[in-house]
Amino acid sequence: MGSRTARPSVLATLNVDHPEWRPLLVLIAETLRETERPQWTRCVPALEPHGRGGRPLLDGAVIGVNPRLIERWIRRILARAADTGTEVQPLARAMAAGRLSPRFLFEAAMSQDVDRLDQLATIHGDDRGVLRALAPLIARPMLQACRRAWADRVPADWAYGYCPICGGWPALAEIRGLDGVRYLRCAACGGGWRTEWLRCPFCGEDDHEKLGSLVSAESLERQTIDVCDGCRQYVKTVTTLTPIRPDDVLLHDLGTVVLDVAALEHEYCRPAAKGHQVELTVVMQASRLRDVLDLRS
C-alpha cells in the first residue's frame, strides 16, 4: 500500500497541531496498527456478483471471523479508551459478564447500524455515547480489509452518494489531479468513487441554483464546502495532487474540522451516520488452522 511514509506525517501533524485531540488520536493510531494485521484479510468473504442496483458490496455479506480475533480487538480498543479517560466501564463490565456478545457488537458496528448501536448502549447503561463513538473504530480493520480486497470490483458507473463498498456517507470530496475529476471518499473503509461536479451526494439534487460553495479562509489550501439548499447538508471538498491514501481519509476528515465549524455557522449539517443501510451477518468460525496462522502473524 506504501502508506507507511505518509501515515505518520498526517497523524504526527494532528498530534502537534491539536494536542486536545490526543485521546482520540491515540485510538486512531491503535486502529491503524490493527488494520495492518493480516488476520482481517483472511476473514474477507468471497464476493457475490452484485454491487448493482444501488447495493453496496458489503450488503448481504456473511463474514466468518475467528472469535479470538474480534474479542481481542474489542477488548484492546476498550482498554485503550479507558487509558484515555473514556467511560467504558459499563461496556467492559457487560462484556466480562457475558451479557454483551462481541459478535453482536461487531456485527452492529460493521453494519454502521446506529439504531442497533443505540439499543445496545441503552441496554448496557452506556449513557455517554461511547459505543457510538467506538463503533467506527471497531469496524475499521475489517472494513479496510474488505475495501482492499474489493476496490477493483466497484462498478465504474456507481452513481450514488453513498460508498459502493460499505454504504457509508462520504467524509469528503476530493478534486484530484490536473484533470480536476471529483471523487467522494469514505472514511469508514477508505473507498473512493467518481462523482459529478454538480450533484449533492446526500439528496441527489443537481439544480445548480440550489448548490453552492462556501470558500474557507484557508483557501490557499484549496478547501471549500459544497452546500446543498435542497437538504441543507454539505460535503467538504479538498483539492489534491494525488489521491488521499485510504487509511488517511479519516485523518483528513479530522484535519479539516475548521470547515465543519464554518458550515455549521452557516446552518448546514452533515447527514446522520447512515448512508445506505447494509444487512450483513457475522458468524464465528473457530479453526485450529486459523488459530495457528493467527498466532504466527
Amino acid at 276: H
How far is residue 256's CA from residue 237's CA, in Å, rounded to a whole number? 10
Binding residue for Zn ion, selected from 90, 102, 168, 275, defined by CB under 5 A: 168
Site string for Zn ion, 105-144 (x = CB under 5 A): ----------------------------------------
Size of residue set near Zn ion by CB under 5 A: 15
Q: How far is the CB of 246 from Zn ion (least distance, A)?
A: 9
**Looking only at residues 218 through 257 of this chain, which bind Zn ion when binding is defined by CB under 5 A?**
228, 230-231
Yes or no: say if 224 and 258 are a contact pair by the CB < 8 Å rule.
Answer: no
Q: Applying CB under 5 A, does 70 fall inside the site for Zn ion?
A: no
Q: Applying CB under 5 A, does 205 fall inside the site for Zn ion?
A: yes
DSSP H or E stretch at residue 125: none
Q: Which residues contact 225 (CB under 8 A, 6 or more apart)?
A: 213, 214, 216, 234, 235, 236, 237, 259, 262, 263, 268
Q: How far is the CB of 117 from Zn ion (least distance, A)?
A: 17
Tell me which stretch binds Zn ion (CB under 5 A): 5-13, 65-73, 151-159, 189-197: 189-197
Q: Applying CB under 5 A, does 165 fall inside the site for Zn ion?
A: yes
Q: How far is the CB of 16 from Zn ion (least distance, A)?
A: 29
Nearer to Zn ion, 81 or 139 (CB): 139
How far is residue 224's CA from residue 259's CA, in Å, rounded to a whole number? 8
How far is residue 232's CA from residue 49's CA, in Å, rounded to a whole number? 36
How far is residue 87's CA from residue 212's CA, in Å, rounded to a whole number? 41
Q: How far is the CB of 262 from Zn ion (least distance, A)?
A: 18
Buried b (16+ CB within 10 A) or exposed e, 255-275: bbeebbebbeeeebeebeeeb
Q: How far is the CB of 165 from Zn ion (least distance, A)?
A: 5
Q: Which residues bind Zn ion (CB under 5 A)?
A: 163, 165-166, 168, 186, 188-189, 191, 200, 202-203, 205, 228, 230-231
